[in-house]
Amino acid sequence: MDSYYFLLELALILLSTKALGILTKRFAMPQVVGALLAGLLLGPAVLNVLQETPLLDDLSELGVIVLMFTAGLTTDLDELRKSGKAAFIIALIGVLVPLAGGTALACCFNRGPGTILENVFVGVVLTATSVSITVETLREMGKLSTRAGNAILGAALIDDVLGIVALTIVTSLGGEDASLPLVVGKILLFFVLSGILGYLTFRVMNWWFRQYDRDKRRFAIMAFVFCLLLSYAAEEFFGVADLTGAYIAGVIFAKTPRVAYLQSRFETLSDLLLSPVFFASMGLEVTLPEMNGTVVLFSVLLLVVAIASKVIGCGLGARLCHYTPQESLRIGVGMISRGEVALIVANRGISTGMMKQEFFGPVVIVVIATTILTPILLKLAYSSSAGVREKPEQSAVVDRYEDAQAFDLASQALLEDHERLMNSGKRDKS
């Protein structure tokens, strides 16, 4: 009977993550925070009801792959090019400053031979940006289409790509007998071959999608197969993180005619099972260390560095691009939130042994704290000009976010209308 215990584990994870997700959403926080808290409560840190198992580990890894594939599906290369020099400079400095700050801080607490990559990895975790909470806050305030809002969204697109590149380089260097020239060569070869394969796959899939449009489910299956194969090839043959392969696969399929359908299918798969398991497993992995002065100090300083490095880095980039001091501050604050991206990177570090287990708890604290603080700080950054109307700016990136929200609302309305019609028909027959 114990062999079926995993069914109870999954049921507890899904129920607790959804319940706490709804609770955190009431406080204007992403449901990711609720899922993390569910893992913390059920795991060894608090109640010790659930433990890490090979099944949960495998489902968690699959969840990462699906999340990164979905992220790739939402990455439009044309929009990256249109984001312009300003967005690139903001994103670049906004990655380099947290990378340097996180590495320097980790070096102060983690010394000794062979620790340099461990410390650099902490910096890589801090490079991440999750702008979903920023988008919702700006939309609520009616500031999404402003000059600063456009810059945040454009920089966030490029930030994701730069973060993936940094993660790829650092994890590859952490392999056995890794040398910098060999690692760089393998990474470049992977991206070149991915580009060639991506072009060929895009041409074939584009033709296929246009020729056979009746049963779209086969397209989703083939896309998933391609994602899994590229993830496997990246890890097995090139020493590149599997999540990098998943992200590249998503970028390739982002240009196909049925990207909206693919996105909806994979978001359903992720939301139904894989994402709750992944984020809950992150909570399960958190072991509360002895809360001595060193641990508390590192956690506090890591949070300070996480906030200050994005504000300074992205703000400096914005000033170099001739944004006003006020706009630069808003751009920096808007890039603070780490969210699920930092958790994915940290999880990769734990699984490869490149990040110390003692660092994981403080990283989770940073994720939760920046998620809570970003809306508060963003509203404060805009409060100084509460009476000033900013001229809205047209942006394809902003339009995509707003169109996505309108599509979701329209889909929900259509489903509700369909249900009312069906119920009305049943009443008429009776």
- Tell me the pLDDT band of 231, cut-offs 50, 70 and 90: very high
Q: Please state which of the ranges 51-60, 270-279, 403-412, 413-422 shows the lowest mean pLDDT.
A: 403-412
Rounded to an integer, the average pLDDT of 201-218 is: 77
SS3 198: helix
Between CA 21 and CA 25 the distance in angstroms is 6
Residues 59-85 pLDDT 10s: 988 998 998 898 888 877 777 677 678
Rounded to an integer, the average pLDDT of 148-155 is: 85
pLDDT of residue 240: 84
**Percent of the chain beyond pLDDT 90?**
25
Which fold is adopted by the domain 56-386? Answer: Na+/H+ antiporter like fold (1.20.1530)
Residues 267-306 pLDDT 10s: 888 888 998 998 888 888 776 666 677 888 999 999 999 9
pLDDT higher than threshold 80 for residue 253:
yes
pLDDT of residue 91: 92
Give one DSSP letter per residue of 81-120, joined into a string: HHTHHHHHHHHHHHHHHHHHHHHHHHHHHS-STT-HHHHH
Between CA 152 and CA 398 the distance in angstroms is 10
Per the model's pLDDT, the better-predicted residue between 335 and 26 turns out to be: 335
24 close to 265: Cβ distance less than 8 angstroms = no
Rounded to an integer, the average pLDDT of 226-248 is: 90
Per the model's pLDDT, the better-predicted residue between 305 and 5 turns out to be: 305
pLDDT of residue 392: 54
SS3 34: helix
Rounded to an integer, the average pLDDT of 311-331 is: 93
pLDDT higher than threshold 80 for residue 175:
no
Output the CA torsion 266→268→269→273 (10° steps): 150
Between CA 87 and CA 354 the distance in angstroms is 30
pLDDT of residue 326: 92
Rounded to an integer, the average pLDDT of 108-120 is: 87
pLDDT of residue 95: 94
Rounded to an integer, the average pLDDT of 317-331 is: 93
